[in-house]
Structure 1
Amino acid sequence: MSDQRRVVVASPRTHRARRLGDTGSERSWSLAHDLDEQTELGAVYVRTLIRAQLRAALATLTVVAVVIIGLPLLLVLLPALGRSRMHGIPVSWLGLALCIQPIWIAAAARHLRQAERIERDFARLVDRS
């Protein structure tokens, strides 16, 4: 007969998971410890953080790409807009100067807020454990 050990599988947020060690002895569970020791659980949390940051970056990239592709596409679809002028300045230039820059600034500010929120949530999770 083989010597099999019993394994307890529990969520890291439960009391039992925090108190029960590998051998059943009492220990305090810490996510910071798992991150420092580069355990599999720590790696899962880090991958989750990276995925959240990637989703935020891809959302910002999508907004920027739509704007970058949208303006030339608009000028191709509406050639009269490309030829029109306002106070001697081409409307397309005014669009670049007055419309595009605020969109860049808003996208950058939104992305920064999202990235900081994601990192704050992760830091709270590490501190709470």
Structure 2
Amino acid sequence: MSVEPVPRREVVTRSPRRSRRTVAGVPLAADDGAAPGAVQLRSLMRSQLRSSLVSFAVLAVPTGVLPLVLALATPSTGWLSGPSLAWIILGFAGYPPLVLLAWWYVRRAERHEKDFARLVKGG
């Protein structure tokens, strides 16, 4: 009579690690080292960093000039001066450029990811 060996017990403490990552729906091998995929990924990160720095600069310049604009809105006669003008500038004038800047940034980020995915797939 042969005795079947008892399977070794295994303790599971976490989900198994996957050997592949995905960026923008494109699989990247984790063990490629300095493969072309890593170079392309660095290029994607640089282009997204460049877009974020441009959008930050475009946002920082008007925000930095805003105290000067509000200081020049000195009180005088009329409803469109002093505090009324300051409230219009603070409450309404800043939002349309902010929304346009956010729209531009999202479009650029999506374009960078599409270019990256096309480059990695080889198409």
Is 1:104 paired with 2:98?
yes
Ranked by relative contact order (alpha carbons within 8 Å, sequence separation 6 or more), the top structure is: 2
CA RMSD of aligned residues (A): 2.3
Where does structure 1 lack aligned partners over 5 or more consecutive residues?
Answer: 1-31
Is 1:63 paired with 2:58?
yes
* Percent of paired sites with the same residue: 38
| Structure ranking higher in helix proportion | 1
Q: Report the TM-score when normalising by structure 2.
A: 0.66
Q: Of the candidates 67, 90, 93, which is equivalent to residue 87 of structure 2?
A: 93
2:51·2:105 contact (CA, 8 Å) conserved in 1? yes
Tell me the residue number matched to 2:68. 73
User: Highest Rg: 1 or 2?
Assistant: 2
CA separation in 1, counterparts of 2:85 and 2:120? 52
Q: Report the TM-score when normalising by structure 1.
A: 0.63
Distance 1:124 1:99, change over 3 A: same
Alignment of 1:35-50 (within 5 A): 35-36=28-29, 37-40=31-34, 41-50=36-45
Q: Please list every run of at least 4 consecutive aligned residues from structure 1 whose deviation after the TM superposition is greater than 3 angstroms.
A: none
What is the total number of aligned residue pairs between the two structures?
94
